[in-house]
């Protein structure tokens, strides 16, 4: 990385931690944000290679009226670790290529944000310079997800949390932590990191 290249910053956190809120604050400061999860959904619908491979491995029912059949695919992979791993191996490399191209197109900024739920699990963290983990107590996260997704039961939310990398492991791997525990103000934490990254760029 050259001295004037943007710092590539990853933002991740378990379900309900509030990484999207943190990224909206960064975006409000004028920082470009690449939302890996949203882009993955777009690529699964529009990328010819990806649509072909998904149909090959998961059947023609994976698409309905030219659009990804999310309900069918979720049912196929949710309780089958091997199928989920297969899907991830198809999707994550394409998202990685797409995000690298996006970063090349935004190389005139001090730093760039890549928001991803599975930053560590997908190996995407290896392409980044710094990692921010957004963290919150488990009970707070469960309540948030149940308010956001009323169709999910408490047991289902806890199962999702258990299937993700543990909070302790994410925190251990982080370069920076943002506490979104409803006691600590989030905006000052974001501003502090923003100043740090901008200062690095000016040196």
| CATH code assigned at 152 | 3.40.50.300
Tens-place pLDDT, residues 111-148: 999 999 999 988 999 999 999 999 999 999 999 999 99
6, pLDDT greater than 60 = yes
Q: Are residues 47 and 92 in the same domain?
A: yes
Distance CA 109, CA 7 (A): 9
CB contact at 8 A, 4 and 202: no
Strands 111-115 and 176-179, sheet pairing: unpaired
Residue 134: burial class (beta carbons within 10 Å; 0-12, 13-18, 19+): buried
Q: Are residues 97 and 115 in the same domain?
A: no
Distance CA 141, CA 15 (A): 7
Would you say the pTM of this structure is higher than 0.95? no
The percentage of the chain sitting over the pLDDT mark of 90, rounded to a whole number, equals 77
Give the domain extent around 77: 38-105
SS3 state of residue 31: coil
Residue 7, φ and ψ in degrees, nearest 5: -75, 130
Q: If you average pLDDT over every residue of the chain, what do you get?
A: 92
Q: Are residues 118 and 203 in the same domain?
A: yes
Tens-place pLDDT, residues 54-111: 999 999 999 998 899 988 888 888 778 889 889 999 999 999 999 999 999 999 999 9
Distance CA 95, CA 49 (A): 12
Q: Are residues 122 and 28 in the same domain?
A: yes
Cβ atoms < 10 Å from Cβ of 64: 12
């Amino acid at each position: 990385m050259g001295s004037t290249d943007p710092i590539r910053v990853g933002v991740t956190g378990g379900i309900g931690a509030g990484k999207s809120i943190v990224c909206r604050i960064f975006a409000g400061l004028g920082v470009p944000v690449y939302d890996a999860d949203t882009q993955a959904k777009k690529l699964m619908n529009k990328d010819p290679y990806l649509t072909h491979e998904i149909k090959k491995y998961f059947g023609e029912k994976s698409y309905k009226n030219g659009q990804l059949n999310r309900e069918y695919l979720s049912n196929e992979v949710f309780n089958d670790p091997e199928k989920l791993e297969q899907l991830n191996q198809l999707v994550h490399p394409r998202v990685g290529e797409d995000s690298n191209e996006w970063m090349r197109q935004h190389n005139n900024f001090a730093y760039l944000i890549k928001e991803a739920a599975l930053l560590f699990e997908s190996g995407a963290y290896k392409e980044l310079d710094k990692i921010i983990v957004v963290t919150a107590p488990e009970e707070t996260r469960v309540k948030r997800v149940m308010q956001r997704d009323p169709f999910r039961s408490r047991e289902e939310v806890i199962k999702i949390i258990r299937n993700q990398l543990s909070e302790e492991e994410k925190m251990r791997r982080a370069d920076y932590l943002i506490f979104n525990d409803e006691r600590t103000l989030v905006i000052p934490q974001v501003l502090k990191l923003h100043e740090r990254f901008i200062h690095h760029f000016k040196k």
